[in-house]
Amino acid sequence: MNLLSWSKQGLSATRRNLLRGTCYFFLAVGVAALGYVGFVSADSKAYQAVEKEKFAQAVGIQQPHVLLEGEVIGEIQVPRLGLDAMVMQGDSASNLQRAVGHISSSALPGEGGNVALAGHRDTFFRPLREIRTGDEIRFRVARGTFEYRVESIEIVGPRDIKVLEPSPGRDLTLITCFPFSFVGRAPGRFVVRAREVERVISEQSSGVDRKQREIVARVPK
C-alpha cells in the first residue's frame, strides 16, 4: 500500500468517526430535549390538579390581602373550547410554565379596568386558535365568577403594549404568541378582547347566601 492510499483511508475513517460522533451528539440532545418537555408537561399537569382542588375549597372565602407573585388567584374557562386553567399572579417564565399568568399591572376581576392574562400558545392557550367573537369566557376567583363575552380578536406586534392599557369598562384581555404553529420565538401576539356581562354571586356558608347562588347582577356594557 502506497502512502497516498493509506492517507485516503485514514482520512475516510476520520470522517466516518466524526459523522458517527455528530450523530450520537444530536441524538443525545434530542433525547434530553424530549425528556425536558415531558418533565415540564408532567409538572404543569400535577400543579394544575393540586391547585384546582385547593381553589375549589377556597371558593367563597374572602380574605383581602396583597397578592404575591406566584400565588393562584383563580381559574379561567372557555367552555366551548374546553379551555380550563388555573391563573397565577405574575407572568414570569416560571409562572407561565405552570399556569396562565395575570399581568400584575392590570386590574383584577370585579374591578373596573382591563384584566390582562398571558399564556403559552403551545400549552394552556392553544385552544384560543379556535376562539371567535361571542364566545363565553368565565373567570372564577374566591369572591365569585365573572363572565365575559368576546368582542374582538386581533394580531399585534410583540412590542405593542396598547392592549394592556386601562379601559373605562370592565374588560378581559387574553394574550398569547402567534402564529400558533410557529417554531421558535413567534413574531406576533394573538389578542382576545372581551367585555364583562355578568357577575355571579359567590357561594357562602349561610342559608340565605346559598339561596343567592343563582342570582346574577347585570353589569352595563
Residues 44 and 147 in one domain: no
3-state secondary structure the chain: CCHHHHHHHHHHHHHHHHHHHHHHHHHHHHHHHHHHHHHHHHHHHHHHHHHHHHHHHHCCCCCCCCCCCCCEEEEEEEHHHCEEEEEEECCCHHHHHHCEEECCCCCCCCCCEEEEEECCCCCCCHHHHHCCCCCEEEEEECCEEEEEEEEEEEEECCCCCHHHCCCCCEEEEEEEEECCCCCCCCCEEEEEEEEEEEEEECCCCCHHHHHHHHCEEECCC
How far is it, in rounded angstroms, from Cα 56 to Cα 33?
35
Reported as a single tens digit per residue, the pLDDT across 75-115 is 999 999 999 999 999 999 999 999 999 999 999 998 899 99
Number of other CB atoms surrounding residue 11 within 10 Å: 10
Residues 18 and 70 in one domain: no
Among 58, 83, 103, which residue terminates a domain?
Answer: 58
User: What values do phi and psi take at 100, rounded to 5?
Assistant: -80, 140
- Shared domain for 43 and 105, answered yes or no, is no
Same domain for 108 and 136, yes or no, is yes
Look at residue 203 in the predicted model and tell me its pLDDT. Answer: 47
Cβ distance 67 to 90 under 8 Å?
no
Dihedral (CA of 47, 64, 146, 96) sign: negative
> What percent of the chain shows pLDDT beyond 90?
52
For residue 6, the enclosing domain spans 1-58
CATH number of 143's domain: 2.40.260.10
How many domains would you assign to the chain? Answer: 2
Average pLDDT of the chain is 80
Instruction: Please check the confidence at residue 211 and state whether its pLDDT lies above 60.
Output: no
Across the range 194-219, mean pLDDT stands at 53
Same domain, 67 and 130: yes
Q: Any idea which of 35-39, 116-120, 167-171 has the lowest mean pLDDT? A: 35-39
Same domain for 105 and 207, yes or no, is yes
Q: Are residues 152 and 195 in the same domain?
A: yes
In this prediction, residue 210 has a pLDDT band, given cuts at 50, 70 and 90, of very low
Do 51 and 67 lie in one domain? The reply is no
